[in-house]
Structure 1
Amino acid sequence: MNRAQADVLIVGGGFMGASAAFFLRQRGRSVILLERQLVGQQASGTNFGNVRRQGRFLPQLPLANRSREIWGRLPELIQHDAEFLMSGHVRVCYREEQADQFETYAKEAAHYGLKLDLLRGDALRARFPFLGAEVLAGSYSRMDGHANPRLAAPAFARAAARLGAQIVENCDVVRVEKEGAEFRATSADGRTFHAPVLLITAGAWGNLLSEQFGEAVPIAVNGPQMAVTEPVPYAIQPVVGVSSPQIEEVVYFRQVARGNIVIGGCARAPAYLDERRAKVLPQSTLLQFRQLQRVAPMLRRLNIIRVWSGVEGYMPDDRPIMGASGTTSGLFYAFGFCGAGFQLGPGVGDTMAELIDTGATSTPLEPFDIRRFAASRGTSPAAPVTSRVA
């Protein structure tokens, strides 16, 4: 039986795991990262690519700010920019009550260092002339933007490998356990991997591992709905997202430099852990296109050329699980990012590396502690909570 040893064992090779491996190696910790398929193949590589801070749960902004600072340094850190573009991000709405919420949020977010410009009427149309007549107000974050999710996690994994991390792909971990002072992960083909520290970054599959340590969580699994249009001349710089209490109105889109419009939102579809697949429903694509035209009428004549989805895990309170285990020393988690983890990826890796290496972190993690679900363990997974922000 093959055996491998390191200071830290990471199970899950998405964005969180790959970035954690990189930052742990920067701190001198030896790392083995295990991925069932290929790095970044699941939700980390199939998401919308939004690098936004505004609209987040306010106590999450310190983490988002930490991550945004890293996004701006990707070329010097990992020798790849993941096509990050500081395009700006504008949230828009159709109703007065949503516009009022924009104002409240902007005041509160300012305390976390996030500056937002609030726009209405002529000022809104002058800044974003592509917006439709129904759009009432907008909240603009100049420092936000977008990147290519297909590139980000693999780029961090390659950078981690250059620093000496062991990246093991096509490694299906079937069991994790702690024996004495060490954790052991066993793969389906009989390989074992050992370390005194275990970090679980397995996304929608995270609960299958955390429950092996008595920490089952009510995670729901769904597939975000994505589409992309044919390329057209570049005309829309910011990422655009609709904020609404109605999920069918929550569409978001961005135009990449080559001209295609990437679209997400409006609905979620079934996803299947055993198949490692999520479905795209035709009615979701049609709904997205209708809502896209409502926000930006100039896009009504475009052709959609591809649709896709990914397997994503959603927590009932719309907050991830991140931090130390409540039952097992040396065990840490970072999963369940509820479809909003892409922007956080570099910050999550940096924060978890700091926590593992020093025993503490400068970024508050209390709202994301897995122990908040301790009272509900043993119940069936809760229905997904619909995100109202894009």
Structure 2
Amino acid sequence: MGPVVDVVPTSTEMPASTDVVIIGGGIIGVSTALFLALRGVSVVLLEKGHIAGEQSSRNWGWVRRMGRDPRELPLIVEAFKIWDGMEALVGEDVGFRRTGILYMCDNDKDVAHHQDWLRKADDYALDSRIVTGPELAGLRPGAAKPSHAALYTGSDGRAEPQKAGPAIVRAAIRAGASVLQQCSVRTIETEGGRVSGVVTERGPIRASTVVIAGGAWSSTLCHGLGIRLPQLAVRSSVMRTGPVEGGPEGAAWADGYAYRKRLDGGYTIAEGSSSRHEIVPDSFRYFRDFVPMMLQEWQSFSLRISPDFVGLLGGNQDGLLYERHRVLDPAPDLALLRRAQSRIERAFPVFQGAPIVQRWAGYIDATPDAVPVISTVKSQPGLVIATGFSGHGFGIGPAAGRLTADIVTGDTPLVDPTPFRYERFIDGTRHRPSTGV
């Protein structure tokens, strides 16, 4: 069972038409809804389960610029401006704090890797730097032994995933957006060669624009329109502790564990070094697209047959797929989490005996180059895609929603959207991730 998410009121009235339909109530969908509603655009957000029910509430809660693919840096810089003003924007504290993030380095090779990223990020005047010795020790109070070095960004931070999405969508509702939960989209309709609306389990809604912000479901939604969107789901397991006195502030990634201090004094902890892809029909459909990523990440990548494999063979032919899967709630990898717990207890003895309050897992929506799609689709007027954030979506989400709203309305885009264009997957572009981790 996933973490408990703040409750959001749902609309009871089913509108017959609207300007924009957004499919998906994660951080991207709700942010898009807010920025559209603030511009006076009529918008209906449809969520098959509940707001932030999947990866948008199950992620680590990091809000970082450090280690980003250079193509994402302009967008995350803008995202920080929104996070800084988030409490004023939505009228609630979502836990955003600039408490710093560390990427630990075990040797000089790790340091060189992060120095290479620093050179790529030099144009953005970040405060990221390599720290060592007493300064690093001061950033890791209670550590059992000194560390070789770390890449550190003191102005990076954290927020609470179980609060952020609900707070943003409540602000969108106040601004005029209509939000329907437990309402799946069965099909996206077209008329005269362009999008004309959607058919939901409660009936049709006409709209001139449809935004697919469906996370791990986005490729299937696109497939229903004959659009090929290479995307695979990667399972990530997480746990949280009760309050821990004397633990480190902020967040850090190290070999075998990652942590982030929570607003409640506990910690969100993950293994951080391993990813698992569960084989489904799309695994074969998009195998060639993902070969470069798998070769690059082979040491941290594992495969297994999905328990839902047979059930997914038919796709969404009967239109009921999303109603059969209201919330993706995979079982956490307990062995992986036990390993992370053991390693963080060795690194920080203060965690020994800390109560584990909950364990959960979620599905990260990955693209072959680990960069999102935020884009129109030339072959399908009226369709906008905002998906494929590859585990980076929570922190960048508010700015991604703002950029998506810009694309929908035709306003000057927040940043150059070219790196996020959909057509890169069909124009022969070579796809390789480029990150600092």
- Asked whether the two chains share a fold, i.e. TM above 0.5, the reply is yes
> 2:198 corresponds to which letter in structure 1?
A
After TM superposition, list the pairs within 5 Å mapping 1:124-135 onto structure 2.
124-133=136-145, 135=147
**Alignment equivalent of 1:33, drawn from 45, 48, 68:** 45
Cα distance in 2, alignment partners of residues 319 and 286 from structure 1: 30
Corresponding residue of 2:9: none
Distance in 2 separating the partners of 1:388 and 1:112: 15
Aligned residue runs from structure 1 range 1-390, under 5 A? 4-133=16-145, 135-180=147-192, 182-189=195-202, 191-242=203-254, 249=255, 251-264=257-270, 265-269=272-276, 270=278, 275=325, 276-358=328-410, 360-374=412-426, 389=437
CA separation in 1, counterparts of 2:183 and 2:34? 19
> How far off is 1:104 after superposition?
2.6
Partner of 1:245: none
Q: Residues 240 and 327 (structure 1 numbering): CA distance in 2 closer, same or farther, change over 3 Å?
A: same
Q: Is the 8 A contact 1:278 1:310 kept in 2?
A: yes
Q: 1:238 to 1:76 in 2, by over 3 A?
A: same
Partners in 2 of 1:188 and 1:257 — Cα distance? 38
Report the RMSD for the aligned CA atoms in angstroms.
2.4
Query: For the residues of structure 2 that align with 1:349 and 1:259, how far apart are their CA atoms?
Result: 30
Is the 8 Å Cα contact of residues 371 and 433 (structure 2) preserved in structure 1?
Answer: no
Structure 2 CA distance for aligned equivalents of residues 19 and 320 of structure 1: 15
Matched with 1:246 is: none
Deviations 1:76-96 (A, max 9, x none): 111012111111111112121
Provide the C-alpha distance between the structure 1 equivalents of 2:173 and 2:219, rounded to a whole number of angstroms: 27
Distance change (3 Å), C-alpha of 1:359 and 1:183? farther
Partner Cα distance (2:158, 2:55) in 1: 16
Structure 1, unmatched stretches of 5+, are: 243-248, 377-381
Deviation at 1:132, TM superposition (A): 4.8
Q: What is the distance in 2 between the residues matched to 1:205 and 1:57? A: 23
Query: Quick one: structure 1 residues 56 and 295, their matched pair in 2 at CA, closer, same or farther if it must change by over 3 Å?
Result: farther
1:379 corresponds in structure 2 to none
Alpha-carbon distance between aligned partners in 1 of 2:103 and 2:110, rounded to the nearest angstrom = 10
Counterpart secondary structure, 1:105:
helix
Could you tell me how far apart the structure 2 residues matched to 1:145 and 1:6 are?
Answer: 37
Per-residue CA deviation, residues 91-117 of structure 1 (Å, 9 max, x unaligned), is: 112121111122232233231232213
Report the CA distance between 1:296 and its aligned residue.
3.3
Task: Name the aligned partner's letter for residue 408 of structure 2.
Answer: I
Any conservation in 2 of the 1:234–1:259 contact (CA below 8 Å)? no
Which stretch of the first structure deviates more once superposed, 161-170 or 95-104? 95-104
Write the distance in 1 (CA, Å) between the matches of 2:45 and 2:415. 24
Q: 1:234 to 1:32 in 2, by over 3 A?
A: farther
Q: Contact 2:160/2:263 (CA < 8 Å) preserved in 1?
A: no
Q: What's the CA shift for 1:254?
A: 1.4
Q: Distance in 1 between matches of 2:121 and 2:56?
A: 26
SS of the residue aligned with 1:343?
A: helix
Q: Hey, what's the Cα distance between the residues in 2 that align with 1:317 and 1:251?
A: 24
Deviations 1:345-378 (A, max 9, x none): 11011111112212541412222222122268xx
Distance of aligned partners of 1:388 and 1:106 in 2 relative to their CA distance in 1, 3 Å threshold: closer
% identical equivalent positions: 28
Number of equivalences: 375
Q: CA deviation at 1:5?
A: 1.1
Aligned AA for 1:43? Answer: Q
TM-score (norm 2): 0.80
